């Protein structure tokens, strides 16, 4: 059974055979994903169903490409990259709220990763529409990743800066490919508006 392109915010149930087909894997592999890796599924035996949104979340979690056919129309993918040492509780709480608001209000699929080789791999597999780089604690890494991403093309870049950053440093961030910069102290609603503005 062919799957048609989804409408905005549409979620559908997929059978094992459909998941295998859209992900280009065997049905046995899909069963292993359910049994071993926690792909959420309902039903039993021949009547196992998987929500398209659960499949997207699973593929994001395991760095696998997301087939366009299971993405809702107008869905955008955002990748947030940060320095691993910035994972203080307040910042993580902010990110969770930010991602939840984007997913709920604007039909975005969000993921995050620390700078390094994992970030480059995630760029290749996740293929984000928007790359958000944290320059506050990883200035050089952010510029390097912005430049790397810009060479690949196709995505927009938003960089988060420190409120007191020098004008020259801000310009270097923009020159590395950032279409927009915001301070880390920005409110969630203002940040969501900034993200939406990049896609207008």
40 vs 5, higher pLDDT: 40
Q: Which residues are registered as beta bridge partners of 112?
A: 80
pLDDT at 170: 93
Highest-pLDDT range among 8-17, 21-30, 115-124, 132-141: 21-30
Does 5 have pLDDT greater than 60?
no
pLDDT at 195: 83
| Total Cβ atoms within 10 A of residue 42 | 11
pLDDT at 7: 53
Residue 80 and residue 99: Cα distance in Å, rounded? 10
**By mean pLDDT, which of 4-8, 10-14, 177-181 is the weakest?**
4-8
pLDDT at 30: 94
pLDDT tens track for 166-186:
999 999 999 999 999 988 787
- Contacts for 5 with CB less than 8 Å, ≥ 6 apart: 69, 73
pLDDT at 190: 82
Average per-residue pLDDT in the chain?
Answer: 83
Degrees to nearest 5, angle at CA 137 with 188 and 104: 25
Does 10 have pLDDT greater than 70?
no
Residue 75 and residue 111: Cα distance in Å, rounded? 14
Domains in the chain: boundaries: 13-69, 76-198
Q: Which CATH architecture does the domain made up of 76-198 adopt? A: 3-Layer(aba) Sandwich (3.40)
Does 1 have pLDDT greater than 50?
no
pLDDT tens track for 19-39:
999 999 999 999 999 988 789
Average pLDDT over residues 157-165: 89
The DSSP letter of residue 6 is B
According to the CATH classification, is domain 13-69 in 1.10.1660.10? yes
pLDDT at 91: 65
pLDDT tens track for 51-94:
988 998 899 888 888 888 888 767 788 898 888 766 565 666 77
Task: Read off the tokens for 61.
Answer: 């979690």
């Amino acid at each position: 059974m062919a799957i048609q392109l989804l409408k905005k915010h549409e979620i559908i149930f997929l059978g094992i055979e459909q998941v295998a087909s859209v992900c280009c894997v065997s049905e046995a592999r899909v069963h292993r994903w359910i049994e071993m890796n926690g792909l959420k599924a309902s039903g039993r035996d021949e009547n196992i169903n998987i929500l398209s949104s659960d499949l997207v979340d699973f593929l994001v979690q395991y760095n696998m490409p997301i087939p366009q056919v299971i993405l809702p129309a107008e869905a955008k993918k955002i990748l947030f990259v940060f320095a691993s040492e910035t994972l203080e509780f307040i910042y993580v709480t902010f990110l969770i709220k930010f991602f939840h608001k984007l997913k709920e209000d604007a039909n975005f699929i969000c993921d995050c990763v620390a700078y390094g080789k994992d970030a480059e791999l995630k760029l290749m597999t996740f293929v984000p529409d928007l790359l958000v780089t944290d320059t506050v604690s990883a200035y050089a890494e952010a510029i390097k990743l912005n430049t790397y991403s810009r060479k690949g093309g196709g995505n927009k870049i938003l960089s988060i800066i420190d409120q007191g950053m020098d004008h020259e440093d801000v310009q270097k961030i923009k020159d590395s490919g950032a279409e927009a910069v915001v301070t880390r102290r920005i409110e969630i609603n203002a940040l969501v508006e900034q993200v939406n503005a990049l896609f207008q």
